[in-house]
């Protein structure tokens, strides 16, 4: 097995269904418009310009967040003084640690750290714990792992082996020098890892004294609250991390990590060298979010997601809409087919599926004020059309019927332009 800067994925194929080559670093095909992370960054910059124009014309209340990501700052006015860098954190830190241990099912021997993003914590963990020319074993519930795991392995000078079955885990452990096992509890497409597989993988790592790390961005709350699985540290994992803007948490965007003190010390030290740790104001926001976390909020989001999926499926067809734990998604290849089906022009589309969904997201932002990852996501973010609004946002927008009309309008709008790379470039990048 070639383990240096290599990637083995037993779930991916090199081409999508339409023959477009897939970029394995992100899991989707790139086209002439979104050819690299640079163009994806330019797409986000254009989205910010659209937001500014709309905000000036119609106000901040004209936007509708359908991402399912809550990036609020849960700090009361009388707590602002605690955001001070030198002394503020000392006042609330012990309580933050206790709240985080409860959140993850940790014990007194577990320590806690906050990072400026979950990605930052994952990269720091790889760079601190992974030996050069070894392997990071990434175990997922079927889809690819988060790009930060691949990037962290590369920065550590290691290879990445990505699998989704116990047999493949054991094969890798028997053939490669594995220095870190990363388990994705719930994928960004909200696929949930089977509890038996999760526990067996953690057990295999413990038997071989290989550190185990759960990427529980969504799963720290979805798995125990909705699916009845153990909390992150109750699995026996050495480390875990969650995103503070996902699955019922109110924000801000930050990574909350907990686990073995000896390992976490190394991770935090590396993160501090690279500027990946959270500064005091961000940590204060995480503290506020932990204090106000209510599992009932997550349960309501899951119930709403079921209703969205049912109504979208009834309208577009069950084969075109996939159920998420917190909503519904139209995969990018299905969106590509929907655009193709309503086009008046003959001949093939000139854009790849990721560019179709980016175009729809940009149109929604300008026309309706709908906030999506397709328009505003960071390079490498998922490119399917995902609908995960909270109940208040969906009602304010007009309910699922209004959402269906917006979907159809977005598909039609892009279909009218998808024969021209230049027209689609203007839509996506503003060029």
320, part of any domain: yes
| pLDDT tens-digit map of 47-63 | 999 999 999 999 999 99
- 130/63 same-domain check: no
> β-pairing, 255-260 with 385-387?
unpaired
Mean pLDDT, the chain, as a whole number?
93
- 277/331 same-domain check: no
Query: What's the structural domain count of the chain?
Result: 2
- 38/146 same-domain check: no
- 93/21 same-domain check: no
The pLDDT value given to residue 347: 72
Measured CA to CA, the distance from residue 31 to residue 54 in angstroms comes to 29
- Choosing from 292, 318, 348, the residue where a domain stops is 292
Judge whether residue 190 has pLDDT over 70: yes
206, part of any domain: yes
- 383/268 same-domain check: no
Expressed as residue numbers, the domain containing 97 is: 77-292
Encoding tokens for residue 137?
Answer: 């074993």
If you average pLDDT over residues 267-296, what whole number do you get?
Answer: 96
- 286/423 same-domain check: no
We report the CATH number of the domain holding residue 415 as 3.90.1150.70
The pLDDT value given to residue 380: 81
- 42/147 same-domain check: no
| pLDDT tens-digit map of 318-340 | 999 999 888 899 999 999 999 99
Q: Phi, psi at residue 374, to the nearest 5°?
A: -60, -30
153, part of any domain: yes
- 210/353 same-domain check: no
Q: pTM of the predicted model, to two decimals?
A: 0.87
The HSE-up count of residue 126 (CA atoms within 13 Å, CB side) is 28
21, part of any domain: yes
- Choosing from 292, 321, 341, the residue where a domain stops is 292
2, part of any domain: no
Judge whether residue 94 has pLDDT over 90: yes
Judge whether residue 180 has pLDDT over 70: yes
% of the chain exceeding 90 in pLDDT = 81
CB 166 within 8 A of CB 156: no
| pLDDT tens-digit map of 388-431 | 877 888 999 999 999 999 999 999 999 999 999 999 999 999 98
3, part of any domain: no
17, part of any domain: yes
CB 236 within 8 A of CB 309: no
- 85/188 same-domain check: yes
- 208/120 same-domain check: yes
- Choosing from 292, 320, 352, the residue where a domain stops is 292
Judge whether residue 12 has pLDDT over 70: no
1, part of any domain: no
If you average pLDDT over residues 197-211, what whole number do you get?
Answer: 98
Confidence band of 14 (pLDDT split at 50, 70, 90): confident
The pLDDT value given to residue 13: 55
- 90/191 same-domain check: yes
- 246/286 same-domain check: yes
% of the chain exceeding 70 in pLDDT = 97
We report the CATH number of the domain holding residue 109 as 3.40.640.10
- Please give the full DSSP string across 159-214, using - where no structure is assigned: EEEEE-SHHHHHHHHHHS-EEEEEEESB-TT-PBPPHHHHHHHHHHHHHTT--EEE
């Amino acid at each position: 097995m070639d383990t240096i800067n290599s990637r083995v994925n037993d779930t991916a194929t090199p081409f999508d269904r339409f023959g477009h080559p897939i970029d394995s670093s992100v899991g989707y095909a790139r086209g002439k418009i979104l050819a690299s992370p640079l163009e994806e960054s330019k797409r986000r910059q254009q989205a910010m310009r659209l937001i500014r124009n709309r905000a000036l014309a119609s106000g901040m209340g004209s936007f509708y967040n359908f991402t399912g990501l809550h990036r609020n700052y849960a700090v009361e006015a009388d707590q602002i003084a605690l955001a001070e860098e030198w002394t503020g954190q000392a006042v609330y830190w012990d309580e933050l640690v206790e709240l985080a241990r409860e959140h993850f099912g940790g014990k007194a021997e577990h320590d806690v750290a906050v990072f400026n993003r979950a990605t930052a914590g994952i990269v720091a963990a790889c760079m601190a714990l992974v030996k050069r020319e070894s392997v990071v074993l990434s175990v997922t519930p079927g889809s690819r792992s988060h790009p930060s795991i691949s990037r962290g392995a590369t920065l550590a000078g290691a290879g990445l082996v990505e699998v989704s079955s116990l047999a493949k885990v054991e094969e890798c452990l028997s053939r490669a020098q594995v220095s870190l096992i990363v388990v994705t509890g719930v994928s960004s497409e909200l696929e949930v890892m089977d509890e038996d597989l999760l526990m067996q993988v953690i057990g295999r790592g413990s038997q071989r004294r290989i550190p185990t790390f759960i990427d529980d961005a969504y799963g720290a709350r979805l798995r125990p609250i909705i699916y009845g699985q153990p909390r992150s540290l109750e699995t026996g994992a050495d480390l875990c991390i969650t995103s503070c803007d996902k699955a019922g948490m109110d924000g801000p965007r930050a990574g909350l990590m907990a686990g073995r003190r000896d390992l976490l010390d190394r991770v935090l030290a590396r993160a501090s060298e690279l500027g990946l740790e959270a500064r005091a104001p961000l940590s204060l926001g995480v503290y506020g979010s932990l204090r106000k976390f209510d599992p009932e909020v997550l349960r309501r989001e899951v119930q709403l997601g079921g209703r969205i999926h049912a109504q979208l499926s009834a309208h577009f067809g069950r084969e075109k809409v996939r159920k998420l734990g917190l909503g519904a998604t139209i995969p990018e290849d299905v969106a590509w087919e929907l655009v193709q089906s309503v086009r008046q022009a003959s001949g093939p589309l000139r854009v790849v599926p990721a560019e179709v969904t980016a175009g729809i997201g940009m149109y929604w932002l300008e026309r309706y004020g709908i906030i999506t990852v397709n328009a505003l996501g960071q390079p490498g973010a998922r490119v399917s059309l995902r609908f995960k609004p909270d109940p208040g946002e969906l009602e304010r927008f007009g309910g699922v019927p209004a959402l269906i009309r917006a979907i159809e309008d977005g598909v039609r709008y892009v279909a009218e332009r998808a024969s021209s790379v230049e027209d689609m470039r203007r839509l996506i990048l503003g060029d």
